[in-house]
Amino acid sequence: MNGKKAIVALLVENNANVLTRVSMLFGRRGYNIDSLTVSETNDPAISRITITAQGDDRIIEQIILQTKKLVEVKAVRLEDENEAILRELLLVKLEADEAMRAAIREICDVYKAGIVDFSAESIVCELTGKPSKINGFLDVIGKYRILELCRTGVTAIDRGGKIMLCENKESHKS
């Protein structure tokens, strides 16, 4: 699926198999999930799912409409990249002997990445930030041999006083 990137935030009941139902909805329709994060909210009965996917306006609209139909989904919002705070976590293990460590440390300092582990043959760096910052760091650090890499995927929350509230599903039935 090509097109613009969509960041969809969901509030869902914190029940078993909710994530399975949400991901199956995407799979059945042939929509690829680029990233997915899930966490509890301040209400232990509600979890927040943040999904990034790509598509044209029609596909994104369908994703939102179909997701809203799931019984466990209490709210759906399309996040605006320019309005929301977006963050992602990266852990990357690099091959690094003593001669390489100083250069890697300098790159980490510029990007405000932490070095969370090192051994005689490797360094593990940790970086939190906007997806564009993570991508930039990976472009620069890519000249070194990456042994392992993992990213959490995007999580997003609106700026300011706007909050995402659970919708009353009963009011939508008629």
From CA 47, how far away is CA 18, in angstroms rounded? 10
**Level-2 CATH architecture, domain 4-79:** 2-Layer Sandwich (3.30)
Which CATH class for the 85-155 domain?
Answer: alpha beta
- The model's pTM is 0.83
Region for 151 from its dihedrals, namely left if φ exceeds 0, alpha if ψ lies in -120 to 50, beta otherwise = beta
pLDDT of the chain, 174 residues: tens digit per residue: 467 889 999 999 999 899 999 998 888 888 889 999 999 999 999 999 999 998 888 988 998 999 999 999 999 999 998 889 999 999 999 999 989 999 999 999 999 999 999 999 999 999 999 999 999 999 999 999 999 999 999 999 988 887 888 875 543 333
Domain boundaries, the chain: 4-79, 85-155
Q: Do domains 4-79 and 85-155 have the same CATH topology?
A: yes
